[in-house]
A and B are shown apart, each in its own frame.
Chain A
Amino acid sequence: AQRVTQPEKLLSVFKGAPVELKCNYSYSGSPELFWYVQYSRQRLQLLLRHISRESIKGFTADLNKGETSFHLKKPFAQEEDSAMYYCALSYGGSNYKLTFGKGTLLTVNP
């Protein structure tokens, strides 16, 4: 069965510091990986997906199939990045059934 693990429940950094949110997955096939973000009092929204290979709000994530990881990185954190981040996996060639990790709460301090 597929599983997504986010080892850190909480992550706190200072403004301007680099940030890395870890995500590991287990799935024997070729999954699609996503990062979703939920800002305070807002709905869950897609941040980025590995097939797009794009940078959103300065965040990037590279799929490492050898390490089965999809870590989210940003070189210089901003206060507005404070939010709950969820890593998610989909399989079977579509994104209609997402398996989420438990999430990491990122706090960027001034």
Chain B
Amino acid sequence: DAGVTQSPTHLIKTRGQQVTLRCSPKSGHDTVSWYQQALGQGPQFIFQYYEEEERQRGNFPDRFSGHQFPNYSSELNVNALLLGDSALYLCASSVLTGLNRNTEAFFGQGTRLTVV
């Protein structure tokens, strides 16, 4: 099991452009969460997807959107990129149990986005 995989590992975009980041969850996991980690900060929750729907959202503008596919993989899209969007974007996967609780979140290595 490769665990949580994210692609690409690094990318550079120009201000105003749009970007799509991808995440494949750990085998057997059905829930994907996205986090933004700015330099020197802890990860900040963006949103979570389960059954192809956004289940919970953090304090991020609508420029940040996502999608989950039937195979549980997920994409994070950011429109109209700003310099402040430069960060490490982390994907975490888990399993939603019958008690409406999530199991341990496993994190990917992240995608380093630089906006110039």
Contacts and interface: CB of A to CB of B under 8 A. Distances in A.
Contact of B42 (A46, A97, A103): A103
Nearest to A92: B56
B41 A98 contact: no
A96 B104 CA distance: 9
Contacts of A94: 100-102
Given A43-B109, A100-B44, A95 B101 contact: yes
Contacts of B104: 46, 49, 95
Tell me whether chain A's interface is mostly helix, strand or loop, or mixed: loop
A97 B4 CA distance: 18
Contact of A46 (B31, B96, B105): B105
Given A43-B107, A95-B94, A96-B55, 14 more contacts: A43-B108, A44-B90, A46-B104, A86-B42, A88-B42, A94-B101, A96-B31, A96-B48, A96-B96, A97-B56, A98-B45, A99-B45, A100-B42, A102-B41
